[in-house]
Structure 1
Amino acid sequence: MASKFRQRRWALAVPFFTQSSTFSELWPETRRHIVDVLDRGKYSHGHKVVELEEALAAYTGAKHVVGVNSGTDALVLLLRACGLRPGDEVVVPAFSFVASASAVVLAGGRPVFADIEPDGYGIDPAALAAVATERTRFVMPVHLFCQPADMTGVGETARGLGLAVVEDSAEAIGMRYGGTHAGLLGAGGVLSFFPTKTLGALGDAGAVLTDDPVVAETVAALRHHGRFGPTAAHFPAINTTTGAVGVNSKMDDLQAAVLLAKLDRLDADVERRAVLAHRYTELLADVPGVRKLPSVLPRRADVRGVFYVYAIEVDRRDELAAHLAARGVGTETYYPTPLHLQPCFADLGHRPGDFPRAEAACRDALALPLYPDLREADVALVCQGIRDFYRFAEAA
């Protein structure tokens, strides 16, 4: 009996993320790229990385794409390449993954937090203006979950304050604002290819997007121990001149191979995510306790959102997550603690209540499973679990 029960739970389980079906379908193309890497014998920072950079430039419209080993390193190197000096302030939204702020510290700067806008999760341009000081040199909007931040408002405020804009567009592949791909609305942006991302590798990888050739050249050097010169961008000689203190942030060619295989179906995956998100919205529209469903805000007629995450805001969030887990449904909390209250930033002196919108999002937001392998029957199962939780709660 116990064995049958475990089998039934497994059959009904909806993991927060899986891509097993995707890779089964993509294996022939993936294998072709991997064999090419093996035949060349160059496993890091080689021809396959160049091929991926060129393909991403064509997809995003960026003049320059520089592959690195993670989205976090991409942010650090981009800030350094844009001229961040020790102690310079960078305004960051208080609601984001910790890397948005830790990258500022790792690049030598000081994060300054701002609250998010009331109708979305992007930085509030009015809050940006309120926290900027004479030491502030950059603002880093973060494009979260399903849409770009308000780049019109951010851009206008930044210009008025004399700030450079560097985008944390790690989640934003495929998103566009005013016809321009996210990450190309300021000095530059980044992409993360962490496995759960809309375009995900089988491990860590990232990239910098920019239209500035000097920024691109500097990032290309910094990712490989600061080696400048005509052969430094790829296939560098051991004795290439070191012009700056860089790091080892080269992209592995095997990750580039996986990403190239998946890039061809990216638009189809984006569309599949939109279909599943629409189904979630239909099924959850009238559920008591579900207070906010995601939607792409009508900032401009030509904004293109991409559902990387389907995040809802709910009553009794942690209890709901536990209820779904007991039914075999995976969820994630984005993000349980706002950045200004993270212990690693305690020296900045913030207290609860400083950024109430960010704190409310951390208290109430819950991400549901959303990925191309997900079936509509899985979506229905997740939504039924949510409906049952609030029905039982009302009855109690």
Structure 2
Amino acid sequence: MEKTLPLAEHARARNRTKGAPVPFFTQADTFRELWPEIRANCTRVLDRGKFSHGSVVAEFERALARWTGAAHVVGVNSGTDALVLLLRAAGLRPGDEVVVPAYTFVATATSVVLAGGVPVFADIEERGYGIDPRSVDAVATPRTRMVMPVHLFDRLADMRGVHEVARRRGLTVVEDSAEAIGMRLDGTHAGLLGTGGVLSFFPAKTLGAIGDAGAVLTDDDTVAESVRALRHHGRGGRTLDHFPGISNATVLPGCNSKMDDIQAAVLLAKLGRLDAGIARRAELSARYDARLRGIPGVLAVPGDAAPHPGGDRVTYVHLIEAEDRDALAAHLAARGIGTETYYPTPLHLQPCFAHLGHRAGDFPRAEAACAAALALPLHADLSDADLDRVCDEIEHFYAGRRA
């Protein structure tokens, strides 16, 4: 397997101007490398004149199904829509409760609302950022129908623990695996560890498009058929057999969530370099861990918490926990280094969920993570020299505070 793009990497290291900005994310070099293939794929789309829900989308779905091992991949227009359609296809009904972690991107919970359900929040693990199965057990009620663990940053949630609770309580397991491309448990890809899961192809993701796009993964034929109908205004599917003589029938109240063929054209080209990109991210993450571990003020690095047994680590985001997190982020920003705060406010304290009646202190581990977590630049185009500069500035920040 190709280790990385060595010529481009060396060129970046040579040509980097000392003190130049280090963006949180860029894929400019990757696009230059892949442009001939991307251009050829996009030209096919333009020549055919089918820009939505066309043959290139189907081609990408087949290629991604082979890569993940999924029986079905259904391309849609965003990771958020993928969650909404998956929840509906998995049988969520109005008023049903879905347990979700309090520490995650807001779309995890708002997708439940958009699908007609009620989010119920649970705390995260003591080490790592996955949902705590014990908290799931504590917050579930007789109205709870599903649990949706989230695979965050670089590792899977505790799926064995989640399934144990789900079996005992009769819950359906669906996965917010939006960040988890490449993550597997005992060889089974994320999103295929329950009824179904999703992927996001937001540009900064490990496999990123040039806009919004997403997919539903499932091994369940019925779920896949429902998602295919729901993404296209509820049209089609085998259920048409029950309505003879009706053409172009709408069998479900669906929406317009189809993937654009231009996005599929870009993703199809980038899929061929996905293994190399994952390997490069692993190299960078290990280098970060080695440089940052032990620095006073850096409270935790990703390598401190091992994946759950049988799971593997695939780094989408390199997240550290840091003292004076906001001051550190400001220090790095002043020196042209981009960071992101994941996440500034836990979901149970977001204004849109105020009606659920939660208060500060309800989920202490989620709240602690929100106060300390900081994501550093990590992408396949990041040079070793830029990474070292980020680490140098973090060292300087804490050395100055000690002084």
Using the size of structure 2 for normalisation, the TM-score is 0.93
Give the alignment partner of residue 326 of structure 2, picking from 299, 318, 321: 318
8 Å CA contact 1:9–1:328 kept in 2: the answer is: no
Secondary structure in structure 2 of the residue aligned to 1:258:
helix
Distance 1:291 1:230 in 2: 54
Deviation at 1:298, TM superposition (A): 4.2
Deviations 1:54-93 (A, max 9, x none): 0110011000010000000000000000110000000000
Give the alignment partner of residue 371 of structure 1, picking from 367, 371, 379: 379
Give the alignment partner of residue 293 of structure 1, picking from 297, 301, 305: 301
Cross-structure match for 1:5: none
Cα 1:9–1:331 shift into 2, 3 Å:
farther
Distance 1:147 1:313 in 2: 16
Distance 2:300 2:358 in 1: 27
Give the alignment partner of residue 20 of structure 1, picking from 13, 28, 35: 28
Does residue 1:342 correspond to 2:342, yes or no? no
8 Å CA contact 2:156–2:307 kept in 1: the answer is: no
Deviation at 1:10, TM superposition (A): 8.5
What is the letter of the counterpart of residue 112 of structure 1?
Answer: V
Distance 2:247 2:115 in 1: 26
8 Å CA contact 1:96–1:142 kept in 2: the answer is: yes
Give the alignment partner of residue 251 of structure 1, picking from 259, 263, 276: 259
% identical aligned pairs = 69
What is the letter of the counterpart of residue 297 of structure 1?
Answer: A
Does residue 1:31 correspond to 2:39, yes or no? yes
Deviation at 1:12, TM superposition (A): 2.0
Distance 1:297 1:185 in 2: 20
Cross-structure match for 1:43: 51
Distance 2:17 2:141 in 1: 55
Distance 2:118 2:36 in 1: 46
Does residue 1:71 correspond to 2:79, yes or no? yes
Distance 1:381 1:21 in 2: 19
Distance 1:283 1:55 in 2: 37
Cross-structure match for 1:133: 141
Deviation at 1:39, TM superposition (A): 1.5
Give the alignment partner of residue 307 of structure 1, picking from 315, 318, 330: 315
Q: Following superposition of structure 1 onto structure 2, how do residues 140-289 of structure 1 map, counting pairs within 5 Å? A: 140-229=148-237, 239-289=247-297
Cross-structure match for 1:357: 365
Deviations 1:180-228 (A, max 9, x none): 1000000000000000000000000000000000000000000010001
Cross-structure match for 2:9: none
Q: Following superposition of structure 1 onto structure 2, how do residues 82-101 of structure 1 map, counting pairs within 5 Å? A: 82-101=90-109
Distance 2:292 2:130 in 1: 24
Cross-structure match for 1:4: none
Secondary structure in structure 2 of the residue aligned to 1:111:
strand
Distance 1:278 1:360 in 2: 24
Deviation at 1:297, TM superposition (A): 1.8
Distance 1:160 1:187 in 2: 16
Aligned length: 382
What is the letter of the counterpart of residue 110 of structure 2?
Answer: S
8 Å CA contact 2:226–2:237 kept in 1: the answer is: no
Distance 1:38 1:70 in 2: 22
Distance 1:368 1:125 in 2: 29
Secondary structure in structure 1 of the residue aligned to 2:191:
coil
Cross-structure match for 1:386: 394
Distance 1:117 1:223 in 2: 34
8 Å CA contact 1:10–1:328 kept in 2: the answer is: no
Deviation at 1:103, TM superposition (A): 0.1
Secondary structure in structure 1 of the residue aligned to 2:302:
coil
After TM superposition, the structure 1 stretch with the greater mean CA deviation from structure 2, 366-375 or 223-232, is 223-232
Distance 2:182 2:51 in 1: 28
Deviation at 1:229, TM superposition (A): 3.8
Secondary structure in structure 2 of the residue aligned to 1:12:
coil
What is the letter of the counterpart of residue 347 of structure 2?
Answer: L
What is the letter of the counterpart of residue 86 of structure 1?
Answer: P
Secondary structure in structure 1 of the residue aligned to 2:374:
strand
Deviations 1:153-200 (A, max 9, x none): 111111111100000000000000121100000000000000000000
8 Å CA contact 2:322–2:373 kept in 1: the answer is: yes
Deviations 1:231-257 (A, max 9, x none): 99xxxxx95110111000010000000
Distance 1:328 1:202 in 2: 24
Deviation at 1:305, TM superposition (A): 1.4
Deviation at 1:394, TM superposition (A): 0.7
Deviations 1:252-304 (A, max 9, x none): 0000000000000000000000000011011101210001000262421x322
Deviations 1:4-57 (A, max 9, x none): xxxx99852100000000000000010111111111110000000000100110
